[in-house]
Structure 1
Amino acid sequence: MKLARSINSRLIPDCGCVLTIGKFDAVHIGHQKILRQLVAVGEKMNLPAVVMTFAPSPEEYFRKQDAPPRLTTISSQYFALRDQGVSLMLAIPFNKMLAQTSAEDFMQKYLIDRLRAKYISIGDDFKFGKERKGDYRILQQAGVKHGFEVGRFETINVGASRVSSSRICAALSAGRLDQVEALLGRKFAMVGRVIHGDKRGREWGFPTANIALNRKIPMTGVFAVTVRGAIDDHGRARIKGVANLGMRPTVDGMKTLLEVHLFDFNERIYGHRICVEFVEKIRDEKKFASPDALKRQIFMDCARAKEILEAGE
């Protein structure tokens, strides 16, 4: 799968495509059904399946700091969409120009002239264009005129409630990773590149792979995790570990960080992208009275994480 970050990217296929448009933040089981259907249509029409999303999202652009936390980074979305058979992820920056683009101009410039979409699938509540004046009816009318088909998908329920990013976010905030897995169809994961830290964990005997998170996060705490990605050439090997996700209140409380201590692993993976899968929450993040108290707690966290991960084998 390819990733393009501009509507003018050379990665956009010249042959046309089948297309869906949306936030696709979590790539949850509802999204997965949509994507399977899109890929199947693409195979019948012999066209690549393209997902158009926005980074930042319209909600983040308009609401700024009041926007809800994103569940996935572009990297996480990329891997989740790739697993569904998508050919191209088109992550367009949502900016002032796009916010002022009318629904008619958006269809003409983006969907018809540039993407040459032959089939477009959107949600039953999808709106687009300036002042959200574009909808399924307008898109369908354009399809009749310009020769593309339009499909509409409905939301999916698990239990009595709709599957949505906000529902997943609430479950994450409550530490209910079992509920999250049921809604995602997989374990919740974060993907990022390993950066250099302050080496404090290494001094204590707990070296960590650190990932900076320059965004709001839906949960904090200490977790039993498995990690894959840069661990082997194919990203299939899973290494067990324990992770702290949050502000590190005992250390400095200045920035959001994902710190992962990998069990029985000593390789240098700075600069590599890894995928951290959250298995079970161990405890909330808290401020300890001293570094020694934190160090003792880390010993206990590691022991508990090993118990959880061994029990799940």
Structure 2
Amino acid sequence: MQNCKLCSVKSAPTLYRSLPRYDNQRPSAVTIGNFDGVHRGHQAILSRVHQLAQERALAGTVMTFEPHPRTYFARRGQRPELIPTQISSLRDKVTALADQRMDQVVLQRFDQSLADMSADAFIEQLLVQGLNTRWLLVGEDFRYGHKRSGDIELLRRAGLRFGFDVETIADVVDEHGHRISSSELRTALAVGNLSRAEHLLGRRYRLSGHVVHGQKLGRTIGYPTLNICVPAQCALRSGVYVVRVAGLAANPISGVASLGVRPTISHGGRLMLEVHLLEGPVDAYGKLACVDFLEYLRDEEKFPDLPTMIAAIDNDAQSARDYFATHGL
């Protein structure tokens, strides 16, 4: 297990929050999508983009959207139940894209103007003028533009006109023929199935964030915790987990963590990740911690009193020690 890549990315991609790019006209090899989680299906797409970019001396480029288009339309329609849960924070997504050797990441704001943009304008303003696209890879069912009016055939005609090639890719499946997708990954995380999530990701599920000050109750009951903010719509099931933490010391540290809203001590609180380090506290405030989730232990609970909660935490900590005694770090 290497230390946290967020702390040691050697060649981060250039980030753009608007198009056209402000600093270059380099021709690009482009793919478009939300890439939440950057799972094995995404990795197959990004590997092809990197390969083609190297062959043709293009900038390997990802155009992704912030917020997720489904989130935008759910909020606009006042349908919060339709907002998709979030697998990765924006930081974790960009880091994963860097790991896949992308040169450029476009964080395209999804707002009313983009929702209203015609398919032709999407091609001309974003792909041609914005990125000087010379090669484009998208899924076979890719749609774009106002009311999803643009299709692959329109892209191919535009490619002939503006000088870019269009390649499509079918759904990526695993060795059992099962589709690898963000929706499948969200389903696995929603039930705490970490082995399934690892299979889809090709790595352990991870959340990262800066350690912030909390209520400091943990230290008064013998369980000091690191408090880490996570996405409010986090896809992972709330509960208690065995974890390992990178980024705070030279080597990863074993721990036990609670993801939830702390119902015993807080009312209407925001979602928070609280991590207790089994090897003892470290000076972590303000540092970027990377938390890998290893095993699901139990659901988050509201306890009748503090002694009952402490007894449960005692049991959680022992379960985590047992895990590491068997599996190692």
TM-score (norm 1): 0.94
Question: By how many angstroms is 1:243 displaced?
Answer: 0.6
Between the aligned partners of 2:248 and 2:118, the Cα distance in structure 1 is: 43
Question: By how many angstroms is 1:299 displaced?
Answer: 1.5
1:1-313, aligned counterparts within 5 Å? 1-8=12-19, 13-64=24-75, 65=80, 66-158=82-174, 159-218=176-235, 219-232=237-250, 237-253=251-267, 254-313=269-328
Between the aligned partners of 1:229 and 1:79, the Cα distance in structure 2 is: 14
Q: Deviations over 1:214-273 (max 9, x none)?
A: 4212211100011113434xxxx3211111001111111422111111222433222222
Question: By how many angstroms is 1:71 displaced?
Answer: 0.7
Question: By how many angstroms is 1:9 displaced?
Answer: 7.5
Between the aligned partners of 2:112 and 2:248, the Cα distance in structure 1 is: 37
Question: By how many angstroms is 1:311 displaced?
Answer: 1.8
Between the aligned partners of 1:309 and 1:134, the Cα distance in structure 2 is: 52
SS at match of 1:301: helix
What fraction of aligned residue pairs are identical, expressed as a percent? 34
- Contact 1:242 1:261 (C-alpha < 8 Å) held by counterparts: yes
Between the aligned partners of 1:44 and 1:87, the Cα distance in structure 2 is: 14
Could you say if the C-alpha distance between residues 9 and 144 of structure 1 is closer, same or farther in structure 2, counting changes exceeding 3 Å?
A: closer
Question: By how many angstroms is 1:161 displaced?
Answer: 2.9
Q: How many residues align?
A: 309
Between the aligned partners of 1:115 and 1:214, the Cα distance in structure 2 is: 30
Question: By how many angstroms is 1:114 displaced?
Answer: 1.6
Between the aligned partners of 1:2 and 1:12, the Cα distance in structure 2 is: 14
- Look up the equivalent residue of 2:309 and give its one-letter code: L
Between the aligned partners of 2:150 and 2:289, the Cα distance in structure 1 is: 39
Q: CA RMSD, aligned part only? A: 1.7
Between the aligned partners of 1:185 and 1:289, the Cα distance in structure 2 is: 40
Between the aligned partners of 1:13 and 1:181, the Cα distance in structure 2 is: 38
SS at match of 1:161: coil
Unaligned runs of 5+ in 1: none
Unaligned runs of 5+ in 2: 1-11
Between the aligned partners of 1:267 and 1:246, the Cα distance in structure 2 is: 23
TM-score (norm 2): 0.89
Question: By how many angstroms is 1:10 displaced?
Answer: 5.6
Question: By how many angstroms is 1:8 displaced?
Answer: 3.9
Of 3-12 and 96-105, more deviation after overlay is shown by: 3-12
